[in-house]
Structures are given as C-alpha cells and as structure tokens.
A and B are shown apart, each in its own frame.
Chain A
Amino acid sequence: MSLEEDALLLAKVELFANVAPRRLKLLALASSRVLFAPGQDLCVEGDEGYEAFILISGEADVKIKTPSGVATVARLKRNDIVGEMAILRDMPRNATVTAASDVTTLRIGKQDFLNLMKEFPEVTVEVMRSLAERLARTTSELANARAAKA
C-alpha cells in the first residue's frame, strides 16, 4: 500500500483521468487508506461531510431513507468515488454508504479535494459531468415514479 500504488489507482478513477501523475501522487500523499469491514458505514445520511472516499477494493451499497423505509439505490465498485457531493456543498450527506464486503478506500480530505478542483479545471468539469449524469438519472427516476403513482 504505497504511495506509488495509490497514485496509479487514482489515475484509474474517471474523475482524475486528466490530472498529471505528479499531482496525483501529491493527492495520494495527502490521502490515507481506510479499511472497512462488511456492514460498516463509510458515511451516514445527515452527517456533516468532510471527506470523499475512493474504493480501491470491495463493494459498497448506497442507501437513502424514504418514507417507506431504507432503499438501496446503487452499488459502488472499485475506482468509484463516494462522498464528493457533501464536500461540494456545505450540506449533510444525502445518503448512507455501507460496505458490502471488506472495503479498502482512499480517503481524501475536503480541503485537498477543493484545492485539486481549483488547480485542475479538468477535474471540475469531470465532477460536473458526473453530477449532470446523476441529475438526469434522478429526474427520469422521478418521472417514472410519478407515472407509476398516477
């Protein structure tokens, strides 16, 4: 679990695809590895978010509270990033992420992530792209839900 390895891992994350390797190494240096056992929460809905996680190995479930109970809305895999939303807006986490197996993550602090976005507009654009995708998905899901209700 060395810095070199982590930097290579980061390069595989879509978000950081265009960032120079040296910068990724720096980001890796500022980050730390965190291991989660199955069933442990990476983040909890409603908590303040100070960090994002990149999954290095293992899988995790994204769950949200709905009026009819907790629903799993997505499964995260290797190289997925989680928690960047709470960093972007100073608002609580909007979902709970629970490890589905043994999960190894790279934890990136809020300030380091924001600094990276400032330095590399590519990263920002990438973040925007992923946000837009999610929005589109949410919108269509909402439309489907309404249609089902009506």
Chain B
Amino acid sequence: MSDRMERNLFKYIWSHSKRQQVWILCIVALSMPTYFLAFDIPKLIVNGPIQGKGFETPDATQSVLPISIGNPFGDGSLTLFEGFELDRMNALIALSMAFLGYVVVNGMFKLYINTYKGRLGERMLRRLRYQLVDRVLRFPFPQYRRVRSSEIATMIKDEVDPLGGFIGEAFATPAFLVGQALSALIFIMLQSWVLGMVTLGILVLQTGLIPKLRVRLRQLALQRQLTARDLSGRVSEIVDGATDIRLNDGTNFERSDIADRLARIFFIRFDFYQWKFMVKFINNFLAQFTPFVFYLGGGILAIRGSLDIGQLVAVIAAYKDLPGPVKELIDWDYQRLDVQVKYLQVVNAFDVTPLAPAISQEVKSENVKSLVGPIAFHQVSATDESGKSLITGLDLSIGLHEEVAALGATGDGAEVVGELIARLISPSAGTINIGATALAAIPEWHTGRRIGYVGAEPFFAHGTARDALLSGLRHAPFRPAPEGKGMTPLIVREAKASGNPVLDRHASWIDYAAAGATNDQDLADRITWVLRIVSLEEDFYAFGLRTKLADDTEGESEEMFLNARRIFLERLTKDDNAADVEPFDVTRFNSQMTIFQNLVFGAVASTELLPNEIPSDSPLWKTLEAGGLDSKLYALGREASAVIVDLFGEVSDNMKILERLDLIDPTKLTEYSAALGKTDGVDFAAVANADRQRFIRVALSYSEPRHRLDLLDDDLRQAVVDSRITFRENLPPELASEFSFHDADQINPFASLQDNILFGRIVDGRAGAVDRISALLREILEELDLSYAVLERGLKYEIGSGGRRLSLSQRQQLGLARVLLRRPEFLIVNRGLNALDNRTVEKVVQSILEIAHSESEKFGVLWITSTETQASMFDRVLKFSRGELVSDEAVK
C-alpha cells in the first residue's frame, strides 16, 4: 500500500466504504415507493370513504389498495393486484390502517438509513483520525520541529469533524435529490414543452451561477480555517511561553498580536457573511423567478388560448416540488466543496514524505535479538535544514560494546554522530551500517529496544515519575488485560471496521524481560538500581519523605513508622547529633517552626488553613484572642512589616528576596505601607479588623532563624506555648477534623513522613546537618525495610506535563534512567546531563562504565560532551572540531 494519502475525498470514501455506500443506495431506492404512496393515501381517504365518492349507495363497494405499475402520465398500466372489494366503513378502516402501516414502514426505513449513515460516517471519521495520528507517529524526525503541535491537534480534533457527517451523505443524498428533481422536471416537460425549457434554462443558470458565486465563499472559508488554526497555534505558544513573555515584559506585544489576528479573523468572517447572504438573495430570486415566468408567460399563452389552463395549473403545482431538491442539491454541493477543501488541507499537512514504513513499527511481543557488529560510518556527511554542513566525510567504526567519548563544543559535530546513529537526522551522503545491515534498514522496533538515546531535553507525558520511567518499556501488549478489562468482541469488531489496530490498551505493556525482571519485585529493584546510577534516588527518596502520611498508606503500617521514630531518636542521641534536630515538645517553643506552626503544634489538612490563606471570616481568628495573644502577634507583625517596608521601599527591585522570605506578598507592599501609616500610634483595640489580620498573618509566618529580625522574646514564646492547649480546646468543631496534632505516640496523618519520623525539625544553619540526618534516616529505613516504600511514594510524584515540575537536571537524570531501565545494547548520551554539575556527572559516568564493563550487563556507550574530564574517563576519545573528526585516540 502506498504511503501517500488519497487527495480526492470521494475516492477516499469510496475506497473504504463502497459496499456500504451501494447498500445504502439500494435501501434508499427501496424506501421510495412507500414514501410516495404515503403521500397518496390521505387524498384517497378524504375523497373516498369520507366524502363518499364511489360509495353513493349503502352497499356499494370499491376496490381498495390495488397495486399496478405503469405510466403515471398516461394509460396502459399493468395491474398486479386488483385490490380488496370493501364497503365504505371497511374501506375507511383499511385505508387508515394502510396509512398507519406506511408511516411505520417509512419511519423504520428512515431510522435504519440514518443510523446506517451515521455509523458509516463515524467509522470513517475514526479511521481518518487514526490514520492521521498513525502518520504523525511515522513522520520523519525533522518534521516534528517544523509543525506546531496544537495545529496538528486542532486538525485531528476539530477540522476533520464535519467530514464524519458528510461521509454518510456522500453518495446517497445526491442520488436521492437528483431523482426527485428530475421527476418534477420531466413532469413539467410533459405538460408544456415551452415552460419546461424555460424551467430548465433557469435551473441551468441557477446551478451554474450559484456555485460560481460560492467560489469566493469557499476561499473565505479556507482563510477562516487557516487563520483560526494559526490563532490556536499562537494561543498555545502564549501558554507555553507565558513565563518568558511575562519575565521580559512582553505581554503587551502578545496582546497586540492577538488583537491583530482577531481583527483579521473578524474581517474574513464578516466578508464571509456578506457574501453568504448576497448569494442567498440571488438564489432565492432565481428560484422565485421561474413562477414569475409561469404566471406571466404561461398566463399570456393561456389567455391567447395556446395553453390549456389545466396544464398551466399542473405545471405550477409540479414546480412546487422542484426548488426544494435543487436548493438542497446546491447546498450539498457547497458542503462537498467545503469538506473537500478541509480534507485537502488535512492531506497537505499530513502527506509528508518519507514516512517511516509501517513495518518498521510493527508490534513485536517476543524478545528482539541482539544487534550484530560494529557501527560503521563510511564517508558520512550531514547537513542541517538550512543546508549548513554539520559533518563531512566521516569514517568511523565503533564496536557495539565499546565505551567511547565524543568530545567537542556544540556545533563541532560530536553530537551529530549520536543523532545519526539514533537516526534523528539522515546522512546527506555516505553510509552507516551496523554489522552487515544498513542502519536505515533496521526497523524501529529493533533500534528502539537495543539502542538507547538520551538527549538534553527528554520529554515525559503527564503522569507520575514511575510512569515516566516505565514509558521506555511499553513496547507491546505482553500480557493480556485482567479478566473483564480486555477488549470485548464489539470493540474488536468496530476497531476492524474502522481500520484501527486491535491492540489492547489495558493489557500489560511493560516489557519485564527488557528490564531484566520477571516480576514486580524485580522491577522495583531495577528501578531503585537505575535511579541510584543516575544519582536520582535521593531526590525521589526526599519526595517520598515529603509526602503526607495520609496520602497513601496502603500496605504500610503506621506502627512501622512509629518504630522508625523510636529508633531514630535513640541513634540521634547515641551518635551525638542531638543538636541537629529540634524535637517536637509540647511544653517548649520550637524555634525551627513559624509561630503558626508552633501555635498549632501539628499539621493542617489543606493549604486553606495556612496563615496567608485563612479567610478573614474564619472562626480561627477568634481562637487567637485567648490570653491576649492577638495583640502580641499584632505588635510583632507590625514591627516586622515596618522593617520590611523600610528595607524594600514601596516598590521593590528586590522582589526575589522578598518572595523568598515568604512573609509579605511583594505585590502588596504599598498596602502594608499604608496600613502602617494608618495604625501608627493607634491602640490595638482601635485598629480595624482588616489591619489587625494583616499584621497577625505576618506574625504567624515569622520564624526567628529564617527572618532574623530579633523580634521573638521568651515572653512571647511562652505565650505561644501556653496557647497551644487553649487553641485545641477552642477550635470550632467544624474545623476540628482539619487539624492533627503532634503526639509522641501517634502518627500524624497530615504531617510529612519526615516530620513523623524525626518528630522534630532539622536545625537551620548547622552545616551538614541535613546530610547527617538524611543519612541516618536512610540507614534506619533501610534496616526496617521501608526504603522502597518511601521511594515508591516519591515515584508517585506527579511530574507535570513534560516533566515541568522537575528541575531540568532532574528531567535529564530521569531521561537517562528511563533508557537504562530498558537495558540498551548501545547507549548514546548526547549532552544528556549538561544541566548537572561536573562532579555528579562524573559519578554517573563512573557507575555507567562499571555496569557497561560487567559481564552480566555488557553494553556499549557513546558519551557526547564538551567537558574533557568526562571524556578522559573513557577508553577511547573522539575529538571533533568544525564538523570533522580530528583525533581518535585510545586512552589507557
């Protein structure tokens, strides 16, 4: 099958649905007789049984419902069935029953035809959409840089949508309408040849002129579509680039750009409506012009006596049935052109060559065999899209199990070698082979499992970190879906009818064998292992420690974490590191926590209960009044605000510092300044509620080691500690469940795992305290066999779209981990860790080289870098300069 898309919509429809189209045509034809007969029956009922025509005597009978085929305009019909001889009452009943029968039959036909057409259209739409996405997956790599993702998405989602509705109508509707129009025209012709010719003439004019006028409409529709698609592309660019736009004060340019585009769209649309209604006017005029000719011309002929008045009346009556179908036919034709344009647009965007052949992406659920032989470059040159030479005349051979570094600054050609092997770019000259096979001929299902490539910007779909890691293992449905979750026969049948693949999404797609695992436990071990190699284990471990215990406690008993807490306390004092942690003690003020945290002495269920978010009408404010705490906090908050406002001024250019302090919202400095002026020298009792709350919020967020304004005295510390109990007791019942207090013998579900085990806070400003405590924590969790449980919690971290909730270095590490997890035979890292500091990278390289050397794993590495110390860790170093390999040295 050719990989080009069919450019003619009708050919496309016909080639995928000819049997169904013929079938629907037959059904439409079959429905015609009853359709017309149903029109005839009311007349028969009124004229016959009701008005009594033919039933003049009481026992008169008539033949009812005869069936005959013949010339409707003349004599000599062929009678098939004489009809039933019935009296007046029975004839009424029979005819009425027949009417009801026709109604039911017609309804059934209509139901069947519409359902059939609808399903046909939906199947074709599904087929088309699937084909488009399938093509996207097979685009040549440079194409991905050329297209805007949102435009592709809009085309697949919205622009092909009207096609579905049209496809069902594509053949049946015009056939039906042409039939209707022709019969009316022939009838007029038979009545009066002259009037028939006039009608025909106007019809020809109408069907010729209107589509011509609509050409402009179509052009406008096309422009409308293109500009709208452009708009959606721009909007998504604004969303994606919002941070950069705002940080560079570019919002107003974006505003003007959008306004400009909207203006263009507006004028196109307005122009479109003007034309549309103009065409409508002309069309209606022509349709009404024909009766005008009949009245005037026919009238003159009739008065002169050359036309029978009966004939004229019959012609006018017959004409009634003509404009309807003709108008619908013109509309259908318009829709056809419109849909055809849309279809062509889509085809143009998706008919990209050369597509990767479908066979290259075949589903392979068996283990793929190893690659054989060295990667050999012979006189390879490559250019970028602008035609600039990237590399010239490269001769190179890299063994599949060799560890090689390619050294060179960006643009010197080192990265091109990696991109060529990964086939992200194709050579403009020369050949690349792996063993005896041309690299280009090796299918993607083979390279995608045996060759690993990590670039500097790995992409992750929305999901958890664990999903991101496993996304490199989803090669094929390896194990069937669990009972009752698989594809039903109906789903399979429909998939086949629409040319969709029968691949079960709910099957287990994880390639355990590729990860070197046989079960989930193995896989968990492998995940820990790769995270350790890329130095990411600690990060996810830390994520895990930060999760609230309430978030997910399945399979973990609270008792185990309590146990960890006890052991931690023992070791901490034994190792003489007790000063590193300030424990939670209900009788003492904890200086590592904010005043609010000290007051609550526990954790809150939602962020709405944090000092800056508490609603102004919350009953919590009331609880602060006990013991006059509110006035003390007010005084502290006011003083802190005064210092901040004095330091930063009303309009601060040091917003970042202020933001980091997390005490006052930088955008509200002026409000604070005004409030300070208003409350200057005013007694607390006389201060407005809003100002009280404003300053108390500041006080609640205050912590001495962090803000160092020297505002906390022992008196206030004691007052806060004393208020802990009253705070709990005075807590309004509706909020009671939102707080959970620290208790040495209980797990706190709203507090983080770390808070729960440490049962205290790491002391700020003691160098190495964080490392020491983390190590101790680690040791204990390891002993209690809780490490993986914590890591797994960390792996449930939602990394956001594209992994944006991770730092760039974490994304790069995760990208490398994903590839290592599937154990490639040859690993290419193309500046894949360039956001990390050198020491960490060297550590990672060291670990990778160790595994690469080991008998059990054994794989080759191509490490592309600009850093000499990294390159010097490899057996062989290729140096690149200005697109050429300048040295190829084995280092010993």
Q: A residues within 8 Å of B by Cβ? A: 1-4, 6, 22, 25-26, 28-30, 32-37, 40, 42, 44, 46-48, 92, 99, 111-112, 115
Contact = CB atoms under 8 A, between A and B. Distances in A.
Contacts of A30: 654, 657, 660
A101 to B, nearest CB: 13
Contact of B657 (A6, A22, A29): A29
Contacts of B765: 32-35
Contacts of A3: 643, 708-710
22 contacts: A1-B708, A3-B710, A4-B710, A6-B708, A25-B647, A26-B647, A26-B648, A26-B654, A29-B647, A32-B764, A33-B705, A33-B765, A34-B765, A37-B767, A37-B768, A40-B768, A42-B767, A46-B838, A48-B839, A92-B838, A112-B657, A115-B654
Contacts of A29: 647, 657, 661, 707-708
Nearest to A25: B647
Interface in B799-844: 837-839
A30 B647 CA distance: 12
Contacts of A42: 767
Contacts of A48: 837-839
Contacts of B146: none
Residue from the set B643, B657, B838 with the largest chain A CB neighbour count within 10 Å:
B657
B656 interface: yes
Interface majority SS (helix, strand, loop, mixed), chain B = helix
B766 interface: yes
A46 B838 CA distance: 8
Contacts of B646: 22
A26 B708 contact: no
Contacts of A111: 656
Contacts of B643: 3
Given A2-B710, A42-B767, A48-B838, 4 more contacts: A1-B708, A3-B709, A4-B710, A22-B647
Contact of A35 (B647, B708, B709, B767): B767
A92 B767 CA distance: 20
B809 to A, nearest CB: 10
B767 A36 contact: yes
Interface residues of B, number: 23
A47 B839 contact: yes
Contacts of A92: 837-839
A2 B713 CA distance: 13
A2 B643 CA distance: 13
Nearest to B654: A26
A133 to B, nearest CB: 28
B767 A2 contact: no
Contacts of A33: 705, 708, 765
Contacts of A1: 708
A-B pairs with lowest CB-CB distance, top 7: A48-B837, A2-B710, A36-B767, A30-B657, A3-B708, A33-B765, A34-B765
Nearest to B710: A2
Interface in B644-678: 646-648, 654, 656-657, 660-661
B298 to A, nearest CB: 91
Contacts of B660: 30
Nearest to B660: A30
Given A2-B710, A3-B709, A46 B839 contact: yes
B767 A40 contact: yes
Nearest to B652: A26
A3 B708 CA distance: 5
A93 to B, nearest CB: 10
B647 A2 contact: no
A35 B837 contact: no
Contacts of B837: 47-48, 92
B648 A34 contact: no
A35 B710 contact: no
A33 B709 CA distance: 13
A48 B656 CA distance: 22
Contacts of B648: 26
A89 B767 CA distance: 24
A69 B2 CA distance: 69
Contacts of A28: 708
A2 B654 contact: no
A30 B653 CA distance: 13
Contacts of A44: 839
Interface string B495-527: 000000000000000000000000000000000
Contacts of A6: 708
B766 A35 contact: yes
Interface in B677-725: 705-710
A111 B705 CA distance: 21
Nearest to B764: A32
Contact of A2 (B706, B709, B764, B766): B709
Nearest to B644: A29
Nearest to B838: A92
A37 B576 CA distance: 13
Contacts of B767: 34-37, 40, 42, 99
Nearest to A91: B838
Nearest to A99: B767
Contacts of B656: 111
Nearest to A22: B647
A46 B837 CA distance: 9
A51 B643 CA distance: 25
Residue among A25, A26, A40, A99 with the most chain B CB within 10 A?
A: A26
Given A26-B648, A47-B839, A2 B768 contact: no
Contacts of B768: 36-37, 40
A59 B139 CA distance: 63
A64 to B, nearest CB: 16
Nearest to A105: B767
Interface string B352-373: 0000000000000000000000
A7 to B, nearest CB: 10
Nearest to A35: B766
A42 B710 CA distance: 26
A96 to B, nearest CB: 12
B657 A26 contact: yes
Nearest to A33: B765
Given A32-B765, A48-B837, A2 B708 contact: yes
Interface in B720-771: 764-768
Nearest to B661: A29
A44 B657 CA distance: 26
Interface string B762-787: 00111110000000000000000000
A32 B707 CA distance: 9
B591 to A, nearest CB: 11
Contacts of B654: 26, 30, 115
Nearest to B768: A40
